[in-house]
Amino acid sequence: MTSPLISLNNIRQNYSGRTVLSIDSLDVAPGSIVGLAGPNGSGKSTLLRLLAFLEAPANGTISFMGRPAFAKPNAIHREVTLLVQEPYLLKRSVFANVSYGLKIRNKNDIPGKVYRALEAVGLDPDVFCKRQWFELSGGERQRVALAARLVLKPKMLLMDEPTASLDEKSSTRIRQAALSAREEYGASLVIASHDMAWLKAVSDCIIHLEKGNIIDTVCPSPEK
């Protein structure tokens, strides 16, 4: 039996004394796609922030590849990345944004990796590498933000409403690029979205949240 990539046990998260997330147990398998469904305020974004190690739970434990997630944070946290609905871009060129993570990790062949990442999200590198952050449309900003994450080949890609309010072309490219990350190098995906048709089409399991609790887990047989 394959060991989980990440495990949550007896998780409770509180904001201003109020419990906003309560999960007894949750495992994400390597290379799996997990959908998160539920109304606004159900706890999806909080769960993603915990999975991304952006905040520690008030109670409970998170393990990544069998190790406590907060024991050696730098080594573990670099294996997970989160794409939010309104991503932050550095006030620099597209190339600088996509290459930033590679440079701080001292990776080689940076131009080649950047070019391939931009191509994966449907942006012509020869056109976009020199563009500045303020010259991008909303859909282009989201695709650049995704390229900046895909270029790192994370073990887990978390996505919080990644296609909300985007045009159809950008939405399609983001969906395709995310699935390619699983197909090409085995990344696990956790996707929070109101687009139930998409979640049902791609997810191995869909977790339904309400008021911070898991109320149902559905594991369909998607056509992939």
Tell me whether residue 130 is in a domain: yes
As for how many domains the chain has, the answer is: 1
Q: What is the pTM of this model?
A: 0.93
Give the mean pLDDT of 130-136.
96
Segments forming the whole domain that contains residue 63: 6-218
**Sequence-ordered strand ranges (E) for the chain:** 6-15, 18-28, 33-37, 59-64, 67-68, 80-83, 156-160, 188-192, 205-210, 213-218
Q: Is residue 119 part of a domain?
A: yes
Q: Confidence class of residue 126 from pLDDT cuts 50, 70 and 90?
A: very high
Residue 224 lies in a domain: no
Q: Is the confidence at residue 32, as pLDDT, over 50?
A: yes
**pLDDT value of position 1:** 59
Q: Report the percentage of the chain scoring pLDDT > 90.
A: 84
> Residue 132's pLDDT is what?
97
141 pLDDT higher than 90: yes
| Any domain includes 223 | no
For residue 68, the model assigns a pLDDT of 87
In this structure, are residues 60 and 12 in contact, taking their beta carbons and an 8 Å threshold? Answer: yes
Tell me the average pLDDT across 136-146.
95
165 domain-assigned: yes
For residue 144, tell me if it sits in a domain: yes
Sheet with 59-64, strands from edge to edge, namely 67-68, 59-64, 6-15, 18-28, 213-218, 205-210, 33-37, 188-192, 156-160, 80-83
The answer to the question of residue 66 being in a domain is yes
pLDDT given at position 100: 96
Supply the CATH number for residue 18's domain.
3.40.50.300
Residue 223 scores a pLDDT above 60: no
